[in-house]
Each structure stands twice: as structure tokens, then as C-alpha cells.
Structure 1
Amino acid sequence: MNNKALNELLKKGDEHSFTLIYDVLYQPLIAYLMQYVDKAADAEDIAQSTFIKLWEKKDTLNLNISVKSYTYSTAYNLFIDNYRKNKKQQTYLDQLKSETLINLVEESDDLLEHKLKLIDKAVESLPERCRLILIMHKKQGYSHKEIAKKLQISTKTVEAQLRIAYTRLRKDFKDRPDIYLTLISVKKWI
């Protein structure tokens, strides 16, 4: 379908016409976005948002360019917005982790020891498998692959159990984020 036909469909403004536009442009738009993102799910999210914007603005758009060009430029702009937002979040998390590490170095041994005791107590309350895998990872320094080999389980199982453990611990320390950050910041705790 050519650009003129796509523009005419958008001018009609009905759902059937929009579905035709969607059917023609969706897969090529995903392919275009895959050059910018690592995951197909991210490309699909951006594409969905692009078509939502197109649908919301269909009545007010004065298209001097083709629907295809508008769709691609909107998708690219959404990608840039998401990238900036994610970059800002990552910068914030990196800064928070850095501050936590500095605080760990600067805080007294007694305070650190107290935090580690609280962490140990919380870890002891985890389900047995989660606790074992977390201890192997954080206390003994084993990689996911090494844990999987030693316990004869898949690395996906190790990752799932660690995710469960960290989720529980984050919930346990929701009122004390400094302790949770200590847990995730230190390579090994004794």
C-alpha cells in the first residue's frame, strides 16, 4: 500500500481504516525499532504507543508528510524519550549505590555489624532454597552458573530463587532502605 493510500485511510478516521494502517505498518515499524532496542518487547511497546498516539491525533493531524513517515518519526521520538528516562533512572541508581558504598566505608564498624546482623536475621527467615542460593551467591561469592552446577539445577532456577529472595528482603527492609542497599552493595557479607 502506498503513502497516498495510507493517508486517505487515516483521513477516513474509522476503526477499519485504522486497522488497515496498523496491519501495513506494524511489522515494518517493529523491524525499524529493533535497530535501537535490544528486546522485541521494547520495540512492541514503543510501536503500540506510536499507534495509540496516531489514533488519538487522527482527527487533528495535518499530514504534510506520509502516515508512514509520521509513524516512524513518532516511534523514534518515543524511543528517545524512553532512553532518556531509563538513563536518568540508571544514573540515579548508580549514584544511590555509590553513596551507599561511601556510607559503608565511612560508617562505624559497630553500625555495619548491626546492619549485617539484621541482614542475617532476615536471610534466615527466607525459604530454605532461596536462603541457600542467596548465601552461596552473596556470602560465598559463587556465580549463578557455579550455583546451578553445584545444586544441579538450571541457571534460570538460580535467578528465579534470587529474585524471590531479593523481593522478600526488599519488602522486609522497606522501612530501612539503607540496610537493603547494604545487602545489595556489598560483594560478600561475613
Structure 2
Amino acid sequence: MDTMETNKLRIRLLRYGDEDSFKQLYLEYYSKLQGIGKRFNFKFLTPEDFVQETFIKLYKSKEQLKEDVLLDKQIYVICRNIILNHLKKEKRSISLVGEDLIGMEHQENDQDSELMDKKKKELSRLIKQLPEKRKEVFTLHKIEQYTYEEIAEITQLSKKTIANHIYLANKFILENLKKITL
């Protein structure tokens, strides 16, 4: 049997609720998915949590599996989407906490507010000095809070190139902020 025929058979067995097929799939992909989860630094969840969520989602949506698409690709897409959703949720919860803290700081001291405004203006000026693609990547990641995966889809750049742009932008900004006395 060729790869696509095997793929179709596995998907059909999953659709019919064959527990042995599901267990075999779980054992086959557990460590691979766990490895993907370990690449991310999550505040609230472990890589194992993402593996569990992936298989729960796979089981709940087993009727929607496509026989003409490799099963491993479908599993990885489910895992990726779960990770992206959790990254967005974490960023929202962390940024909300940060906004609350910044709000409290501004209420306490107007001088700090003026200093913060000066720093924001200087940061904006430095970002404008970055090369065009680096500025785009930096803005997407640091300001608009897109993930590397999302930026890769938008810009068609590799994750390593994105990481390099962000590293170089951070380095440039930090070096120039140190030179300025605010």
C-alpha cells in the first residue's frame, strides 16, 4: 500500500472512532509535538498541555479530516493553531497587566510621564532609522505583537531571518538609547 492509501485508511479508522488507531497515532506523534511545544516560552502552559489539546481537538474534529491531505500535516496544523492561539492569549493577558502598571505609574508622578513621553519619541525616531524590512519586522513583532510564524506568513521571510532582523533592531535601538541622556 502506498503512502496516500495508508493515509486514507488511517483517517477512515479515526473517523469511525477506532481506539487502537488513535492510541497508535498518539504514541507516534507525542514526542514530536512535545518537541514543537518546547520551542516556545509559555508562561501558563507546558508543552505537554499542547500535545493533549492537539489530540483532544483531533478527536473532536475527526470527521473533518481530509483523506487527500497527509495526516501528519493536519496534526501539525492543529498543534500550530493551538500554540498561536495561546501565544495571543498570553500576550493579551501580559500586556493588560503591563498597561495597568503603566497607568498606575503615570498617576503617581507627572515627571515620570514626561520622561516616558521623551523615551517613546526617541524610540519612535530610532525605529524610523532602521532599514525598511528590519523596521517592518520589528514593528510587527515588538509593537503589533505578531509571532515569528505570523510574520513569516506576512513577509515571506524565514524565522531565522526574522530573528536576525529583531536582534539587529534591538541592538541598534539599545546602543543608541544608551548614548542619549534623557
Normalised by the length of structure 2, the TM-score is: 0.51
Shift in Å, 1:36: 2.8
Aligned to 1:79: 83
1:136-174 CA-to-partner distances (Å, cap 9, x unmatched) read xxxxxxxxxxxxxxxxxxxxxxxxxxxxxxxxxxxxxxx
Q: Please give the alpha-carbon distance, in whole angstroms, between the structure 2 residues aligned to 1:72 and 1:4.
A: 20
Which structure ranks higher in relative contact order (CA pairs < 8 Å, sequence separation ≥ 6)? 1
1:59 is paired with a residue whose SS is: helix
1:65 is paired with a residue whose SS is: coil
Q: Please give the alpha-carbon distance, in whole angstroms, between the structure 1 residues aligned to 2:4 and 2:29.
A: 11
Aligned counterparts, 1:1-190, within 5 A = 5=6, 7-12=8-13, 13-37=17-41, 42-105=46-109
Structure 2 vs 1, CA of residues 96 and 42 (structure 1 numbering), >3 Å: closer, same or farther? same
Structure 2 vs 1, CA of residues 46 and 4 (structure 1 numbering), >3 Å: closer, same or farther? farther
Q: Please give the alpha-carbon distance, in whole angstroms, between the structure 1 residues aligned to 2:68 and 2:38.
A: 27
Aligned to 1:171: none
2:64 is paired with a residue whose SS is: coil
Structure 2 vs 1, CA of residues 65 and 9 (structure 1 numbering), >3 Å: closer, same or farther? same
1:5-30 CA-to-partner distances (Å, cap 9, x unmatched) read 45523311311211111111111111
The answer to whether the Cα contact below 8 Å between 2:8 and 2:68 also exists between their aligned partners in 1 is: no
Shift in Å, 1:60: 2.9
Q: Please give the alpha-carbon distance, in whole angstroms, between the structure 1 residues aligned to 2:96 and 2:108.
A: 18
Q: Please give the alpha-carbon distance, in whole angstroms, between the structure 2 residues aligned to 1:29 and 1:4.
A: 24
The answer to whether the Cα contact below 8 Å between 1:6 and 1:21 also exists between their aligned partners in 2 is: no
The answer to whether the Cα contact below 8 Å between 1:11 and 1:58 also exists between their aligned partners in 2 is: no
1:89-130 CA-to-partner distances (Å, cap 9, x unmatched) read 111110000111122236xxxxxxxxxxxxxxxxxxxxxxxx
Q: Who wins on radius of gyration, i.e. which is larger?
A: 1
RMSD value over aligned CA atoms? 2.2
The answer to whether the Cα contact below 8 Å between 1:46 and 1:78 also exists between their aligned partners in 2 is: yes
Aligned to 1:131: none
Q: Please give the alpha-carbon distance, in whole angstroms, between the structure 1 residues aligned to 2:53 and 2:11.
A: 17
Gaps of 5+ in 1: 107-190
The amino acid that maps onto 2:54 is T
Structure 2 vs 1, CA of residues 18 and 74 (structure 1 numbering), >3 Å: closer, same or farther? same
Normalised by the length of structure 1, the TM-score is: 0.49
Gaps of 5+ in 2: 111-182
How many residues align structurally?
Answer: 104
The amino acid that maps onto 1:11 is R
